Amino acid sequence: MLTKIRLYNTLTKSIEEFSPLNPPIVKVYFCGPTVYDYTHLGHVRAYLAFDFIKRYLLLRGYDVIHVQNITDIDDKIIKRAQDEGVSWKEIADRYTADYLEVLKKLNIKVDIHPRVSEHIKDIIEFVQMLIDKGYAYVAPSGSVYFDLSTVSDYGKLSGRKQREEWRQEEEFLHEKKNPFDFALWKAAKPGEPWWESPWGKGRPGWHTECAVMSSKYLGKQFDIHAGGQDLIFPHHENEIAMAEAAYDVKPWVRYWIHIGYLTIHGEKMSKSLGNIIYAKEALEKWSPETLRLWVFSAHYKKQLEFNEDILQQFKDFYQRLVYCVNILQRLLNEVEPSYSLSDNELRVFRELERIDIEFHKAMSNDFNTSEALKAIRELTSIIFREIETKPSYTLVLRAYHMLWSYNRVLGVLDRYFERRPAIDLDYINKLVELIIRVRSELRKRREYDLADKIREELLKLGIRVYDYKDSSKWVIEKLSS
């Protein structure tokens, strides 16, 4: 029986057993981007870290509904548009397209991507509900603020218990009842986009949108809300205050998950610090698979330091994984089923069982991808050391299934597990082996130019050859159409 999933809940500051409201359905909301610039590696780390969590829940049989917002109207978007002399919508559409393209390349799938500008009516109705209930007030300017003095448990997510710690949006102190109140609706300023509302022309406050869109699609109470650690205060704290006031439910969200920062030279990677690496540049230099493995190597709560040497190591490890899939697929075609296991095969079979237990034990313990990676590395070592050298159909099949299962979380080997059935892999294997034997004979004769030419041509066909002292190995990276 698999270990029960336990996770750290920022709300309770403790490790808890995962128990969704309506299993097997799990409803999750992740705070997406404010689209005023290109997606950078800090975003990538957050999106991938949560993708691994979601994928493991899917592997364990849960039906996950994933909502991830796009903030397409915001002060930063407006400023960028003014600086470039274009409309706010042009800015939002440009960087939304970049964001969606990055997710596609990274193999991240989101069920619902609500844009704020498409939910203005919902936001206005939500703000009016808070006013009617006495939790919000209209300032003379036409802006609407949430009155935090009406909430008794504010600060429970961030641990900020003193009112002096709640101060925010101080540029509007002159019209707020309290220095810690925050905007639900912002009155229009000259040259800014606006929508009509009962309080005059304006646009949504940043915090309001997530409370509205998450519950519109996931219900008044749902299972998981996640985002970067920098969103705990004030964003997520404010979301809780207004949502629990509006919907009369506590807790509004059962589990809160927060992703650690990506750092470069010890500092958080962020646009404000000017130390960013854009995702599209990283994807060109490093493959999506390399980036996925690199992010998988660190526990989601811990900081992850950008390091090109480490990325190169994961580029190599990816090739190792690809070779494992190829050798196992080849052996499944070559090795005949047996009707008993030798003592040595039984020993290896039990080793595989232990590795599988360790993988699930790690992932069930607050989604500890760092420990789970150790199990995956150990599996690859056994494939090379024990299975490739002395193949047994039972061991090959078991290792293949384990690797397939782990890839449902890793998401880096899909194309190798989803090859077209029309391709005769057995024929391809025999043909390539023949070419490799001919090439080995050429190398023995020191006809290196011709041997290198054969290797280059094989690579063009998607077959990479690795030369060792006395032998050569090959791996199918992709099959040409």
Task: Report the C-alpha gap between 266 and 306 in whole angstroms.
Answer: 9
Question: Is residue 240 packed enough to be buried (19+ CB in 10 Å), middle (13-18) or exposed (0-12)?
Answer: buried
**Distance of alpha carbon 47 from the chain centroid:** 3
Q: Tell me the pairing of strands 304-305 and 253-259.
A: unpaired
Which pLDDT score, from 0 to 100, does residue 379 have?
A: 98
Place of tokens 């290896």: 348
How does DSSP assign 275-340, residue by residue?
---BHHHHHHHS-HHHHHHHHHTS-TTS-EE--HHHHHHHHHHHHHHHHHHHHHHHHHHHSPP-SS
- Find the radius of gyration of the CA atoms of the chain: 27
Kindly report whether the peptide bond that precedes residue 421 is cis, defined as omega within 30 degrees of 0: no
Task: Report the C-alpha gap between 233 and 178 in whole angstroms.
Answer: 17
Task: Give the 3-state secondary structure of residue 141.
Answer: coil
Helices of type H across 169-278: 206-218, 237-247
Which pLDDT score, from 0 to 100, does residue 451 have?
A: 85
First-to-last CA distance in the chain?
A: 43
Place of tokens 């190597």: 297
Which pLDDT score, from 0 to 100, does residue 481 have?
A: 43
The beta-strand segments (E) located in 56-207 are 63-68, 136-138, 144-146, 182-187, 202-204
Place of tokens 């996931």: 218
Question: Is residue 325 packed enough to be buried (19+ CB in 10 Å), middle (13-18) or exposed (0-12)?
Answer: buried
Question: Within 10 Å of residue 188's Cβ, how many Cβ atoms?
Answer: 18
Which pLDDT score, from 0 to 100, does residue 440 have?
A: 86
Which pLDDT score, from 0 to 100, does residue 274 have?
A: 81
Which pLDDT score, from 0 to 100, does residue 173 have?
A: 84
Which pLDDT score, from 0 to 100, does residue 7 have?
A: 98
Contact 306, 269 (CB under 8 A): yes
Distances in whole angstroms, Cα of residue 80 to Cα of each of 35, 203, 267: 10, 17, 25
Task: Give the tokens for residue 97.
Answer: 């397209």
- List the one residue out of 320, 185, 301 whose CA is nearest residue 232: 301
Task: Classify the phi-psi angles of 430: left when phi > 0, otherwise alpha if psi is within -120 to 50, otherwise beta.
Answer: alpha
Q: Sign of dihedral through CA atoms 386, 390, 395, 400?
A: positive
Question: Which residue(s) pair with 17 in the sheet?
Answer: 6
Which pLDDT score, from 0 to 100, does residue 444 have?
A: 86
Q: Which residue type occupies 95?
A: Y
Burial pattern 140-178, b for ≥16 Cβ within 10 A else e, equals: ebbbbbbbbebbeebbbbbebeeeeebebbeebeeebeb
Q: Sign of dihedral through CA atoms 247, 251, 257, 261?
A: positive
Task: Report the C-alpha gap between 252 and 220 in whole angstroms.
Answer: 7
Question: Within 10 Å of residue 446's Cβ, how many Cβ atoms?
Answer: 8
Q: What is the pLDDT along the chain (481 residues), one digit of tens a residue?
A: 678 999 999 999 999 999 999 999 999 999 999 999 999 999 999 999 999 999 999 999 999 999 999 999 999 999 999 999 999 999 999 999 999 999 999 999 999 999 999 999 999 999 999 999 999 999 999 999 999 999 999 999 999 988 888 888 888 888 999 999 999 999 999 999 999 999 999 999 999 999 999 999 999 999 999 999 999 999 999 999 999 999 999 999 999 999 999 999 888 887 777 889 999 999 999 999 999 999 999 999 999 999 999 999 999 999 999 999 999 999 998 999 888 899 999 999 999 999 999 999 999 999 999 999 999 999 999 999 999 999 999 999 999 999 999 999 999 999 999 864 445 666 677 778 878 888 888 888 888 888 888 888 888 777 888 888 778 888 877 655 4
Indicate whether this model's pTM tops 0.85: yes
Distances in whole angstroms, Cα of residue 336 to Cα of each of 330, 332, 395: 12, 8, 12
Task: Give the 3-state secondary structure of residue 223.
Answer: strand
Which pLDDT score, from 0 to 100, does residue 422 have?
A: 44
Task: Report the C-alpha gap between 31 and 69 in whole angstroms.
Answer: 6
Contacts 24+ apart (CB under 8 A), 413-416: 413/289, 413/321, 413/322, 413/325, 414/107, 415/478, 416/322, 416/325, 416/326, 416/329, 416/476
Question: Within 10 Å of residue 109's Cβ, how many Cβ atoms?
Answer: 12
